[in-house]
Structure 1
Amino acid sequence: MLPWCLVGDMNNIVKHEDKRGGHPYRMWMIHGFQEVLDECELNDLELIEYPYTWERGHGTANWAEIKLDRVLVSKEFSSIFAEVKLTNLGINTFDHSPIFLEPVKVVFSAGIKAFRFENAWLLLDCRGSLVSFPRLFFTRQDK
């Protein structure tokens, strides 16, 4: 499968902890969104810093904060970008806070690598080279 990374305002929550204040979310909406994520095999990345990305009624009795903006990734994306950092930048000029996704591609170290044998090497005439191999490594017979 292809690596998927969906970023944006999903207008829904995954769990009750994604919302603070206001009226509680209806369970059928939460379960419906969770079912879609499960069916599409997408994982919701956790936010670093402040957990809410949207607010309404700041400074009033009806103040509500919700994690609406999120990043959903597939297992394939996570295998390529094992170390990602999702940060809430918390700039409150609008009702949504911007989020910043910083993927770090995994670079494998140049440590000990597994030996790979190429059958084409059997076709090479290695006689007279600086390195000689015992005959037991070769399967073809000289004619």
Structure 2
Amino acid sequence: METKVNVLQIERIRRIYGYVNGFDVQADGSRGGLSLAWKHDIQFEKRGGVPREERRMEDFRNALDECHLIDVGFLGSWFTWERGNLVATNIRERLDRGVVTEAWFSAFLHAQIQHLSYSHSDHCPILLSTEMANKNIRKALFHFEVWWLLESSFKKMVKDAWDSTQRPLLAKLKELKQEISQWAQHVKQGRQRVKQQLHRQLDRLLDKDRTDDNLAEIINRKIHLNQEIDKDEIYWEQRARANWLKVRDKNAAFFHSWATQRHKGNVINSL
């Protein structure tokens, strides 16, 4: 609407009528002026808790303009931080965003930011993707993996494979290696599907309005996802050949980076 008043008066009027969020344009004397106002239930920067102060948000937007920075936008849930397992205390907020210069954006036209589902922290992981060439994938050498022992089917698979043939020892070992490799690939694919399914379920739950049932389901999915992540940590701990943390420590990112640094030809696919 045309306001015909300055922005300080507009903001005061908005707040009197309960519109704590809005975008205002200064009037030119007694002409013009614009105000776009909305209440809590349709804002997408914060839900729950104390409302953001619009004046500070305006200062932030002005700082971006002065520095000629562009908001990249995002894919996924609109918020990047959440706290509170009860509806009455739940707060969701977009605390993080990616901003770049025009030159950077021109160099990476296909860049995008994705808000990933989260289970360990109240902050969601943020993935910045750019278009890059695929790495050459080498065939992995066969070696024992500690995570095999966590799978209930491992012992029976080895016994069945060993008892299924009466060939000489070296031939039996070769066949056992093939059986284990096929079994491990099948298990990893199954675990990956389970994690993808849990992530999809968690993403759908995070996008819904918060209710007691919704929050209970979110907690349940996070517990199951964390159990799968624990198995990954053992894998990366062995690959890293570093015994600095125990198996139960939640630091898969450290082990992943440590292990991959052993290869000189690494390519950074994401930040």
TM-score (normalised: structure 2):
0.32
Aligned partner of 2:87 in structure 1 is 60
CA drift at 1:23: 1.9
Match of 1:123 in 2: none
Larger helix fraction of residues: 2
Q: 1:91 aligns with which of 102, 111, 118?
A: 118
**What secondary structure does 1:58 align onto?**
coil
Aligned twin of 2:127: 100
Residue pair 1:85, 1:101 contacting (<8 A) in 2 also = yes
Alpha-carbon contact 1:53-1:66 (below 8 Å) kept: yes
Match of 1:74 in 2: 101
RMSD of aligned Cα (Å): 1.7
| Alignment length (residue pairs) | 91
**Partner AA of 1:77 in structure 2:** W
Decide which structure has greater strand share: 1
1:60 positional shift: 3.4
Distance apart, 1:64 and its partner CA: 1.1
Deviation at 1:82, TM superposition (A): 0.8
SS class of match (1:78) = helix
Q: In the alignment, what sits opposite 1:3?
A: none
Distance change >3 Å, CA 43–CA 57, structure 1 → 2: same
Q: What letter is aligned with 2:74? A: L
**Structure 1 runs, 4 residues or longer, greater than 2 Å off:** none
Query: In structure 1, what is the Cα distance between the partners aligned to 2:68 and 2:44?
Result: 21
Aligned mate of 1:25, from 34, 52, 73: 52
1:67 & 1:92 partners in 2: Cα distance? 17
Q: For the Cα contact (< 8 Å) 1:58–1:64, is it kept in 2?
A: no
* Identical amino acids, percent of aligned pairs: 33
Identify which of structures 1 and 2 has the higher relative contact order when contacts are C-alpha pairs closer than 8 Å and 6+ apart.
1
TM-score (norm 1): 0.58
Contact 1:84–1:102 (CA under 8 A) maintained in structure 2:
yes
Gaps of 5+ in 2: 1-22, 24-42, 133-271
Unmatched segments (≥5 aa) in structure 1:
1-14, 106-143
How do 1:43-58 residues align onto structure 2 when only pairs under 5 Å count? 43-58=70-85
